[in-house]
Structure 1
Amino acid sequence: MSRPQEPHKPFLSFGNPFRTILPKGSCLSPKLLALLNDFEESLAEKLQKLKPADKEDVLKLSWMRMATELLCAIHLNIKSLITALELPVCDWEDKWIDVYFSDSVKLLDICIAFSSEINRLKQGHLYLQCVLHHLNSASSNQFVRACSSLDGWSKHIGSKNPRLDSCFSVMDSLFRTLDLPKIKNSSKGMVLMRAMYGVKAITLFVCSIFATAFSGSSNKLMDLQVPETCLWATAFTEVQTFVNTEIRSIHSNGKVTVLKELEAVDMGAKKVHPFVQDGAEYVEYEGLKIAALDLEKSAKEFSQELDLLAKDIDGFFQIVLTGRDALLYNLRIDGNISDQVPGSNNVKDQVVR
């Protein structure tokens, strides 16, 4: 067992980041203030819906799909806000552009890591299909094969995905840059940066939960502190506290898997195993039938939910990618970009799933 790592220290313990963006004496016009308040209130409403109704809902694949849908919605909302601000790309400061391009590449990398893990889990489902196929026969020879497939499932699920290690590194990088650049003489820029801060904080929170769920380890689960001045701060803190507390409780009880559907499948596989181990000549077929049906049901649900989550993550990937492409296009039209923007060279060709 690996040695527990120190949890992330709460972010922003050194003070309010909005001191750099909303200095004393600064003010926003009623129109800009309304745009910002509407955006932040929308974030709060979405976060409130994300809070699980029950502890048992934490880290179900259905909840993860809801979280992915939230990410898609808020990243689309930031695009709408930019349009409403009437802040053309040519007026963006270089720092804002650099941060956007850097963060978007990291989010694409995280999506790729998550998609990779989903594909790995789906490959494990093939072992279960083999198990169920072999159980259709009453011969001891088929039971030996079923047992072998169960062992294959156990080893596959227990293996590690190296892409997730790199994913944690990328999230650490996002964590270290979760702040606001100093904005001078631009009220619209202040609104934009505050809104983008909210989107980044919520995105990092969700990605931290996903990485923890997929890796089966809570050692790097993040606890983010956000300024109380954000209208979405209370909702954010509530859902983060609820989910993170439950995840750590699960791990403190010694459970290896975190994904609820995966845990159900693993339990089903363990119930079948005693019936087929060692190629037993005598098998209590009624008990085996019941165990096999339970395994088939849980495996089917797991596979279906994985497929749906994979589509949702791909949808989020496309939103980030198209937003990045749109900014690149506008910058080139305005003549404010060179051909060597960091991370901008043929990003679609670099993304290999």
Structure 2
Amino acid sequence: MFLTETSIFPSFFHNDTKKKNKKDRAHNKFDLFSHSFDESLLRRLKTLTNSSSTSPLSVAINFSWLSSALEFLSFAHEEAINLLSSLNLDNSLVFYLDNSVKLLDLCNSISSEIERFRHRRLVLNFALHVLNNGSEDPEKLARAKVSLSDWVNSCKGPILDSNNHLENIATDLATRLKEIPRGKISAGERLVRRTIYAVGLVAVFVAGVVVTALRGSSGLVVAVRAPPEFLWAESFNSLCASVSTRPDKKRHLLDELDEIEARIKEVGGVMDDGCGENGERSSSAVKELEMVTGRLGEGSERLGNGVNEIFNSVLRTREGMLEKMRVGQQEPRK
């Protein structure tokens, strides 16, 4: 799809031979850039491989892994910008500006899901506040139990976006990046499109995993596959498959959600038995729930910071490219 061009019209003329040699050198240069970019992504993909997983076909998805996934997306974007900057091609500016808007949209979609997740966590904070104060007021205890139940019920199924916003962004991005303009395309332009398409694939995958995890679902809302022309395609596609296929049959993609539901069930059981008769057991159960709830807060905070860093990086890059275009337009023609 994004293979570099090769000449299929040999010539016996000396001038054409020179042109062909010059074009071959350009192709070799672009191939070298492309291979270096692919190798860097392949090496970084190893950070998303969980060696402690019980099965080679699955990975443990937790907040730490999600943060690493965002770091991988940030790395892919930075590597792409370094490559495009070294090419010094005007068309790379326009193509990046057109498609980076979708990357910003994906960041906004993830941020919205993080904010929704934080809002849901408030019900846990309320229940913990009541339980930690040692209240014996039946009404307050009943409300605390309802809050815990509300959390579990909110995780029974995915919190779907009625407008399928994430799915629409991903589909539109994939379509735009695969579009090839009519007519002959230079090797440089093919490399530009190939590079930005790679970042788009990574962005859709990471956004899909993060949003699915925070929604409390077990199946990915968006699935992607990298074409075989990418050196990292096999590793990337294996990772996508291991995330979407969960042989452990867990209810949630995010491990912390399964853990907190277990703690909620334990606290609820103690409350049913009567806190007064099981004071020590109740205190222990509440403390464990409080620790897990704290990890939810810390994890979502790290994710929010990671998304903000990517968003700001894309904005800075766009501003730099726009300034470069303005300067180029203002330069007097010779």
**TM bucket, shorter chain:** 0.7 to 0.9
Shift of 1:41: 0.8
CA distance in 2, matches of 1:185, 1:213: 40
Greater Cα offset, 209-218 or 41-50: 209-218
CA distance in 1, matches of 2:265, 2:256: 14
Q: Give the partner amino acid of 2:109.
A: A
1:134 aligns with 2:135: no
CA contact (8 A) 1:64 1:210 kept: yes
Name the structure, 1 or 2, with higher relative contact order (CA <8 Å, separation 6+): 1
The number of residues matched between the two structures is: 306
Which structure 2 residues correspond to residues 176-191 of structure 1 after superposition, within 5 A? 176-179=175-178, 181-182=180-181, 184=184, 186-191=186-191
Cα distance change, pair 335–283 in 1 and its aligned pair in 2 (3 A): farther
Cα distance change, pair 281–209 in 1 and its aligned pair in 2 (3 A): closer
1:162 aligns with 2:146: no
CA distance in 1, matches of 2:287, 2:275: 21
CA distance in 1, matches of 2:224, 2:299: 27
Q: Give the partner amino acid of 1:18.
A: F
Name the SS of the counterpart of 1:18 in structure 2. coil
1:324 aligns with 2:318: yes
Shift of 1:217: 4.9
Name the SS of the counterpart of 2:231 in structure 1. coil
Q: Give the partner amino acid of 2:186.
A: S
Which residue in 2 is equivalent to 1:123? 119
Which structure 2 residues correspond to residues 280-295 of structure 1 after superposition, within 5 A? 280=274, 283-295=277-289
**Ranges in structure 1 where 5+ consecutive residues have no aligned partner:** 1-16, 337-353
Name the SS of the counterpart of 2:245 in structure 1. helix
- Structure 2 length normalisation: TM-score? 0.80
Q: 1:313 aligns with which of 307, 313, 320?
A: 307
Cα distance change, pair 157–139 in 1 and its aligned pair in 2 (3 A): same
Task: Report the identity percentage.
Answer: 25
**Ranges in structure 2 where 5+ consecutive residues have no aligned partner:** 9-22
Shift of 1:282: 5.2
Shift of 1:140: 4.2
Q: Give the partner amino acid of 2:5.
A: L
Q: What is the CA deviation profile of residues 326-347 of structure 1, one whole-angstrom value per residue up to 9, with x for unaligned ones?
A: 22232233339xxxxxxxxxxx
Task: Provide the aligned C-alpha RMSD in A.
Answer: 2.9
Which residue in 2 is equivalent to 1:18? 2
Cα distance change, pair 214–173 in 1 and its aligned pair in 2 (3 A): farther
Shift of 1:71: 0.8
Cα distance change, pair 74–219 in 1 and its aligned pair in 2 (3 A): closer
Q: What is the CA deviation profile of residues 178-221 of structure 1, one whole-angstrom value per residue up to 9, with x for unaligned ones?
A: 42625836332232222222222222222222233233152644
CA distance in 2, matches of 1:207, 1:133: 33
Name the SS of the counterpart of 2:51 in structure 1. coil
Shift of 1:135: 1.4
CA contact (8 A) 2:63 2:300 kept: yes
1:75 aligns with 2:85: no
Q: 1:259 aligns with which of 250, 254, 257?
A: 254
- Structure 1 length normalisation: TM-score? 0.76
CA contact (8 A) 1:226 1:233 kept: yes
CA contact (8 A) 1:223 1:240 kept: yes
Which structure 2 residues correspond to residues 89-128 of structure 1 after superposition, within 5 A? 89=90, 92=91, 97=94, 99-128=95-124
Which residue in 2 is equivalent to 1:48? 46
Q: Give the partner amino acid of 2:238.
A: E
CA distance in 2, matches of 1:164, 1:217: 20
Return the index of the structure with the highest Cα Rg: 2
Shift of 1:309: 1.0
